[in-house]
Amino acid sequence: MTRRWRWCVLGLAVAACGPEDMGAGVPHAGARLYETTEQGLTVCPGGSLQDGVDVSSYQGTIDWKAAAASGIKWAYAKATEGTGYPDPTFPGNWSGMAAAGVVRGAYHFFHPGMNGTQQADYFLAYVGPLGSSLPPMLDWEVTDNVSGSTASANAQAFIDEVRAKTGRPTMIYTSPGLWSGFGASNFGANPLWVADWTYATSSCPIMPSGWSNWVFWQWSDGKYGTGSVPGIPATVDRDVFNGTLAQLQAYGNASGSLPSAQQSGNDAMTIVNWPDQHFDLFAMSPSGAEQHVWTTGTGDSFGPPATIDTGAACGSAAAFWGAPWTYAELWSPLSDGSTGHAWYTSGVGWNKYQSLGGSNLTHFATLVWLDGRSEVFALGGDGAIWHDFWDLSKSAWSGWQSLGGSFATGPGTVTWSNGTGELFAVDAAGKLWHSWSGSGASFPNGWYAWTQMGSGMASRPSPVRWADGHAEVFVRGQDGQLYHSDFSLQSGWPALSAIGGGGQIVGEPSAIMNGSGKGAAPGPEVFARDPQGRVVHLWWTGSGYSNLAPLGSQVAASDPLGWIRGDGTAEVFAIDPSGNLVHTHHDPTNGWSAWASIASGFDPCTPELPPPPDDAGTPADAGTVTDAGTGHDAGVGRDAGAGFDAGGSDGGGALTLGGGGGQTTDADAGSEPLPIQSKSCCATGTGPDGLALVLCALAALARRRRTA
């Protein structure tokens, strides 16, 4: 049974609660109405809600098919408590939910006075592989008479252990009453399941402090006579998921629980996967029309190209927001020097570009964080890397802020499975630099200072994430060879070294991460163009890298873009010299397919490449830039301003880059961009004004990473 909530009753006030009432142009499906009551922040549901329950041995033996037939779409079952109680009904509930088609999740009854790591290990050992399930839930409803700081430390240890062993975030279930008097803090980055039994008087739950949104709401414990569900012998808690059925199913898809393991595009193309495994590819026409082609499902059946909007320039980037949002968004340079963004609304389609401000930003890239939010990065005309992100505490974009540096390339981006984000860029002298986000939460605690990794480089870096969670980065050297550095816990980022058997490439490489069972050894595969324009590739063989080899006889005018489809298949796209969008995919049985054309009329967005210097030689040895066992050297950081807040709410102790005064713009500016007058794929002009960088010392950042 799906309910629709149109009105939120808060005391004597009645306010519309749907997304349409948040202002035209706000991109988020499920936008919320925020009200502050005497009890605290009240957040209304946004649109469709999906009915669910949470159960334990108290409910006895459950007929899950009967529960599903009555409208129960999802359920959480208690698995463990503390370090010594396994719920005896969990195995039957776990298998029964799956057999009945109920989206399932497992929860642990948390004891704040007990070791959090031991509780997490006990929980994971009893549950076994999580598979396609909702995020693990920490049921926090007792204090154990310990301090808030002790409870917080044990809860964070539980969350960190679950993240390290599964790559999954942890849902926190709690009530505003317990939370307000307890003193726990800094958990706002974790998805929230709020217990607030005020349904009889209000259809908008009260938030525990530190959160500004919720994913699940336990609205009744049976107190109001609504705790009876067919197939469940005893009374039961009633709950709702805040979103559509498709969003719920995506939230319960383990394969979608981590962001993409690679960059989503280059200057010519950008791609996103949807939860149903179809994907969208975006590319531009020579006249500046942003177009997209998409598959109608899994496989390679493409629809005809369609125009999203005009007035775009090369260097767009897309991202697919994670649960609970689950929708696609696209950013692009516009002809007036600002940034445009467009997003997909279910039942409506793609809107026209809306202005996101900025000034002369190019070479865009994106990250999706573990809490589902997107962040966009770009190269400024001042050479700095700039960023903008959706700030939950404001329900608005943060405004463009400088991350500093002086670069010649756009940023390469990757999200580690532990929640850390990392950026890579190359300066005009050929030095490779990187910056990384803070740890300890699923949304970053700010960005650390740029640290040099090597020299003699000549392209935007292309990083990927291995299955064990660590990252590797690939970049073209000034000598035309492909270089890489692969992080290890023992040695950090080692010196850049050449791979590919001495073969030469031009332009920007594109790296993907092959999974197991798809006809290739699990590991990276890199695509590029050789000096003749042919698409070439190399791959991880299981023990080392192959030499560069042609991928058929395809000649490309654009840099090729590798991608992993939602079904795990590797695919490569390029724009040929005639403007045709061409592709090939890797068949597990028959190898790479023949190159084929999808559509025509696209811009390769590739500036003329300067010849490599005659004396480029071998890039200088970067040495090891990270201390073994402790993560990156902190170096010098930058002080707070309008940057990230810790956990996206109260900003307590956040480490940020970029001082105050950035250009904050309304997400609903709404004016259509001017028609493009001339197209440029290079960074020109000056960056946004008014930001000052204030240097401060930062402590060393510890990061849990494992070797390949």
Q: Tens of pLDDT along 432-473?
A: 999 998 754 445 568 999 999 999 999 999 999 987 778 999
465 and 586, same domain (yes or no): yes
Per cent of the chain over pLDDT 70 is 74
The 10 Å Cβ neighbour count of residue 545 is: 18
**278 and 134 housed in the same domain:** no
Q: Is the pLDDT of residue 43 over 60?
A: yes
Question: Is-catalytic flag, 141?
Answer: yes
Residue 698 in domain: no
- Which comes out higher in pLDDT, residue 605 or 277? 605
Q: What does residue 99 show for φ and ψ, rounded to 5 degrees?
A: -65, -30
Max CA separation in the chain (angstroms): 81
> Last residue of a domain, which of 648, 670, 703?
648
Distance CA(662)–CA(388), nearest Å, equals 10
pLDDT value of residue 482: 98
Phi then psi dihedrals of residue 69, to 5 deg: -65, -25
91 CB neighbour count, 10 Å cutoff: 15
- Which of 196, 220, 254 is the last residue in one of the domains? 254
pLDDT band at residue 23, thresholds of 50, 70 and 90?
Answer: very low
* Residue 460 shares a structural domain with residue 494: yes
Query: Among the ranges 92-96, 218-222, 625-629, which has the highest mean pLDDT value?
Result: 92-96
Give the tokens for residue 143: 């204090």
Would you say how long the chain is, in residues? Answer: 708
The closest alpha carbon to 390, from 455, 465, 303, 327, belongs to 327
If asked whether residues 301 and 237 sit together in one domain, one would say no
By mean pLDDT, which of 152-166, 246-260, 462-476, 643-657 is the weakest?
643-657
Candidate list 35, 51, 54, 280, residue with the active-site label: 54
Half-sphere exposure of 604 (CA within 13 A, CB side): 21
What contacts 24+ positions apart, CB below 8 Å, involve 19-22? 19/46, 19/47, 22/395
Pairing of strands 317-320, 374-379: unpaired
Specify the CATH number for the domain of residue 106.
Answer: 3.20.20.80
pLDDT band at 5 (very low <50, low <70, confident <90, very high): very low
Judge whether residue 543 has pLDDT over 80: yes
Catalytic option among 141, 276, 621, 627: 141
Omega before 461 within 30 of 0, i.e. cis: no
DSSP 8-state secondary structure symbol assigned to residue 128: -
177-179-181 Cα angle (round to 5): 75
Question: Which one is predicted more confidently, 12 or 507?
Answer: 507
CA-to-CA distance for 225 and 402, rounded, in angstroms? 54
Residue 471 and residue 585 in one domain: yes
| 667 domain-assigned | no
Distance linking the first and last C-alpha atoms of the chain: 46
309: Cβ–Cβ under 8 A, 6 or more apart, which residues? Answer: 289, 290, 340, 342, 352, 353, 672, 673
Number of domains in the chain: 2
pTM of the model: 0.62
The whole-number pLDDT of residue 520 equals 76
Active-site residue flag, 329:
no
Residue 391 and residue 337 in one domain: yes
295 and 183 both lie in a single domain: no
Phi, psi of 104 (to 5 degrees): -115, 155
CB contact at 8 A, 674 and 310: no
Give the CATH number for residue 463: 2.120.10.70
**DSSP 8-state assignment for residue 353:** P
Residue 148 placed within a domain: yes
Short-list 614, 571, 613, 578, CA closest to 595:
571
Contacts of 542 (CB under 8 A, 6+ apart): 521, 523
Note the pLDDT of residue 303.
86
The Cα 5–Cα 396 span in angstroms is 23
Distance of alpha carbon 32 from alpha carbon 49, whole angstroms: 13
Q: What CA–CA distance (Å, rounded) separates 139 from 178?
A: 12
Using alpha carbons only, how large is the chain's radius of gyration in Å?
A: 25
Q: Are residues 317 and 430 in the same domain?
A: yes
What is the predicted pLDDT for the residue at 373? Answer: 85
Residue 347 DSSP SS3: coil
Regarding whether 525 and 512 lie in a shared domain, the answer is yes
Which of the 8 DSSP states describes residue 586?
E
Closest Cα partner for 673 from 433, 339, 448, 292? Answer: 339
Both 175 and 107 in one domain: the answer is yes
DSSP class of residue 680? -
Between β-strands 41-43 and 549-555, what pairing exists: parallel, antiparallel or unpaired?
Answer: unpaired
State yes or no: is 567 an active-site residue: no
Instruction: Judge whether 218 lies within some domain.
Output: yes
Residue 681 lies in a domain: no
What's the rounded Cα separation, in Å, for the pair 327 and 331?
A: 14
Parent domain of 481: 258-648
* Selection from 200, 201, 259 nearest residue 226 by Cα: 200
The structure tokens 């898809």 sit at 253
Same domain, 248 and 271: no
Question: Which secondary structure element, helix H or strand E, spans residue 273, and what is its range?
Answer: strand 269-273
CB 43 within 8 A of CB 214: yes
CA–CA separation, 585 and 115 (whole Å):
48
The string of DSSP codes covering 242-256 is: ES-HHHHHHHT-GGG
The pLDDT mean for the chain works out to 77
Task: Please give the Cα distance from 38 to 22 (Å, whole number).
Answer: 23
Name the token pair of 508. 């920007």
Domain boundary among 625, 648, 671: 648
Q: Give residue 697's pLDDT.
A: 25
**β-strand 570-575 against 171-174: which pairing, if any?**
unpaired
Reading the block at residue 101, the tokens are 């088609």
Examine the domain organization and report whether 217 and 273 are in the same domain. Answer: no
Average pLDDT over residues 628-657: 26
Per DSSP, the residues of 466-499 read -TTS-EEEEEEBTTS-EEEEE-BTTTBSPPPEEE
The token pair at 487 is 């992080």
List the catalytic residue out of 35, 81, 87, 139: 139
Would you say residue 683 lies in a domain? Answer: no
